[in-house]
Amino acid sequence: MSIVVADRCSKWYGQVLGVSDVSWKLGGGVIGLLGPNGAGKSTLIKLMAGLIRPSRGSLTVFDKHPFDDTSVRRRIGYAPEHEKTWDELTALELVTVMANLAGAASPKAAAETALAQVGMSSAAHRRVRGFSKGMRQRTKLATAIAHDPDLLLLDEPLTGVDPIARVEIVDRIRALAVAGKTIVVSSHVLYEIEALTSEIVVIHRGQVLAEGNVYEIRKLIDRYPHRIRVECDRPRVLAAALAEAEHVARIEIQRTGLLIETREPDRCYDQLAEITLAKELVISALASPDNNLGAVFEYLTSERRS
């Protein structure tokens, strides 16, 4: 049985496309929605949460339309992408209110349990106003899980959180998955999704571009030449040293550095370190312009077209 069924589902915000003609079925487990910013991940999650309705086509959750049928939302837990909450309330008050509205039998007890699960018991009586980003994310997660939903929709739950909070949130999501919950988690960062699940749906420009195992996507990404931008005091010396390397596809000398295109990023980074030490170069900046999914997705879409 499919938990979520999208049938040629499209959503426009005026002239702006949210999702376009998406047909997709979600059976269960943990699914990562992966895509660059503005790809349509949040729109798809909002459609599942019943916050918006499709402009065309349909989307059902547990065989019901979540926008029109409020009862199905009892089985859904939603943590939005945005940070804003009711800052005047304490974490316990906020989660209790949400559990109460979701129909939890003992809202306060449910809220206390949820806050304990996300490691927020010690801050339960503090107002949300003074919370860090990580604490806010954990509080949002608590509001989503307090009523023990069957389907969890987590929109960018790891954005902006510190490494410790990240590990705790990832552990919590994994524990929920082990407990049998169906979880949809979105991110624009591949390694965040990899930490949570191997099953992903790749979204780009409002369309489902690919779905399946994350390692298949990783292979595709690795085929894409990786660009590294180096700013250093003697770019020509560095370029000459790298020119003979097999993994280097192209080198472009720029005013303050050089742009390297490589097929093996790890090897290239190692070699860069070796050359820097050997030639006593001063590197002031090292960046990867490709370190975003947008470029990779452009590459994947162009490859699919060709």
Partner 1 sequence: MTIAAVAVRRMLRGRALWVGAIIATLPIGYAALTAAKAESGQAGAAKVFAFVQLMLAVLPALFVASSIGEDIEDRTITYLWSRPIPRWSVLVGKLIATVPVIWLLSIASWCLAILAGGQEPTAESCLALLLGGTALSIIAAAIATLAPRYAMALTVVYMLFFDLPLGVMPAAIRYLSITHHDRTIADLAANAEDSPTSAAIGVIVIGAVWAVIALWRIRRVEA
Chain contacts with partner 1 (rule: CB under 8 A): 13, 46, 49-52, 70-74, 76, 78, 80, 82, 84-86, 88-89, 93, 97-98, 100-103, 143
For the bound state, the minimum distance from the C-beta of residue 80 to partner 1, rounded and expressed in Å, comes to 5
Distance CA 57, CA 132 (A): 40
Question: Between 103 and 212, whose beta carbon lies closer to partner 1?
Answer: 103
CA dihedral over 155, 156, 158, 161, signed as positive or negative:
negative
Within the chain, how many helices (H) and strands (E) appear? 10, 13
Q: CB within 8 A of 66, min separation 6: which ones?
A: 47, 48, 49, 50, 59, 60, 72, 73, 76
Question: Between 101 and 273, whose beta carbon lies closer to partner 1?
Answer: 101
For the bound state, the minimum distance from the C-beta of residue 153 to partner 1, rounded and expressed in Å, comes to 8
Distance CA 92, CA 125 (A): 6
Q: Of 207, 197, 147, 202, whose CA–CA distance to 177 is shortest?
A: 197
The answer to whether the beta carbons of residues 21 and 57 sit under 8 Å apart is yes
Question: Between 140 and 172, whose beta carbon lies closer to partner 1?
Answer: 140
Question: Between 143 and 271, whose beta carbon lies closer to partner 1?
Answer: 143
For the bound state, the minimum distance from the C-beta of residue 256 to partner 1, rounded and expressed in Å, comes to 41
For the bound state, the minimum distance from the C-beta of residue 211 to partner 1, rounded and expressed in Å, comes to 25
For the bound state, the minimum distance from the C-beta of residue 27 to partner 1, rounded and expressed in Å, comes to 22
Question: Between 51 and 241, whose beta carbon lies closer to partner 1?
Answer: 51
Distance CA 77, CA 141 (A): 9
For the bound state, the minimum distance from the C-beta of residue 139 to partner 1, rounded and expressed in Å, comes to 11
Question: Between 76 and 184, whose beta carbon lies closer to partner 1?
Answer: 76
- Within 10 angstroms of residue 167's Cβ, the number of other Cβ atoms is 12
AA letter at 108: K
